[in-house]
Amino acid sequence: MTSETARSAASLQPGPAVRLNTPLPAHGRRRRGEPLLTHHVRATMARGFRPPPSWSSPVRHLLPDGPSGGTPPLHDARAAADALRAGSPVLALIAPTYVSRGTLAEQTERLDALLDRVAELTEDRPDAPAVLFVGMQWSSAQEETESVRRLRALLLRAHARLPHLPVCGLSLPGPGKPRTLNAAIEVAELLGCAGVGWVDDDVVLEPGCLSRLARDFLAAGCRGAVGATKIPHTKAFATSRLLARAKAIAAPATNYPHGCCILVATDVLSGGLPGRYVSDDGYVCFRLLDPGLPDPLAWLRLVSDARCHYHVAGPAGETRRRIRRILLNHLVDLADWPLPVVRHYFRHVLFAGLWPLTGFDASRGRRLGVQKALVKWVYFAWFAGVGAELYLRGLAGRPLRAVEWAAYSAVHPLTPADQEY
């Protein structure tokens, strides 16, 4: 072994374990110094949401077809891991989508764009080989057949372009991105991958994006989470322009990695995302946020030179449902996690600048500080209304069973052809 190879191998050794937070139980939780009123409100809100305990779904694992034709699906994660183990992958990458997202041609275009970024990663970091999972969710028997057909075509495309990259298709019922993530995480854990990352099908990554994420993640000892810096684009909807303006003023909870393009240490996701958490990046954030550190977001890093592009909002009705879904995710997190973590997230991430409830933000001038506070108060009023619903449901014993899925049906996903860097 040369000294260069030895240094590369040593650089991939995980650093000391990061302290991970654990959600509190919805029932029978102890106060442990928490003020009585805060404890009552949070525990009651937690009881106001009672979804299925797990995102687990039956999954068919597919490999690229061989020369003789269709390779039969594998029906469990261990068989898939055994088939993929030869590449000794360090990083597992996931591309989740669903049949009704678009045509096969459109999905192929998006996969090609992702493969360009994966090719850069494998060239830049040959010491950290990757495995790619392509998830295709379906909602009917007809779509199930179509999901397998499309996966076979996409896997062949990936194998033809990057023959040394292990790839695996995941056909499973939806909706819910966590279902696809959990299916891939299960295989990644069996493979011993140090990190798991995923890229949504409605974002476009700039050249070098995945390579730069991997560089930061590996330099940190394969710990915590890193995410791309998001670049917003507006659509031909008044809602899109209004929301983009409000976000520019309020600087919402965007200072930690978001699930549209993220790379996470596998131990953070061990066992998969629990069924209570629709928001993948929210779960990662609350697992890793540490108020005891000088920088509580030290293990949640945005990489400034790894950039991805996305569209802001869509039609008013769908945007309203999407915001309600986001608020429910915030409220469930604020009800479930240890109080010190919740306090920091509320005061310094979600509602930073909500003067006088939290500190006044004069970092960009007093005028923008006042505008930020006003926007935050509008958002807080909506947040409080949804929170009151969750509290009353918990009090009445009539919990919400699911958070409504909220896709933008009228918004065509951003594609490489739309984007000029």
C-alpha dist (Å) from residue 104 to 110, 134, 148, 149, 220: 10, 13, 12, 9, 38
Alpha-helical segments (H) within 270-365: 280-288, 316-336, 339-344
pLDDT at residue number 367: 80
CA-to-CA distance for 360 and 208, rounded, in angstroms?
37
* pLDDT for 67: 57
Quote the pLDDT of residue 421. Answer: 43
pLDDT score for 65: 78
Look at residue 406 in the predicted model and tell me its pLDDT. Answer: 60
pLDDT reported for residue 85: 86
DSSP strand pairing (91-98 vs 204-205): unpaired
* The pLDDT of residue 352: 84
Tokens of 319: 């945007």
pLDDT at 69 (0 to 100) = 55
Q: Is 312 helix (H, G, I), strand (E, B) or coil?
A: strand
Burial of 304 (0-12, 13-18, 19+ CB in 10 A): exposed
What's the pLDDT at 5? Answer: 35
Contacts of 279 by beta carbon, 8 Å cutoff, 6+ apart: 259, 326, 329, 333
Would you state the pLDDT for residue 410? 46
pLDDT score recorded for residue 411: 45
Q: What is the pLDDT of residue 6?
A: 34
- pTM to 2 decimal places: 0.90
Chunked in runs of 10, what are the mean pLDDT values of the chain (421 residues)? 36 79 88 91 95 91 75 88 89 96 93 97 95 97 95 96 96 94 97 96 94 96 95 68 60 80 97 94 97 96 93 68 90 96 93 82 76 84 95 96 68 52 43
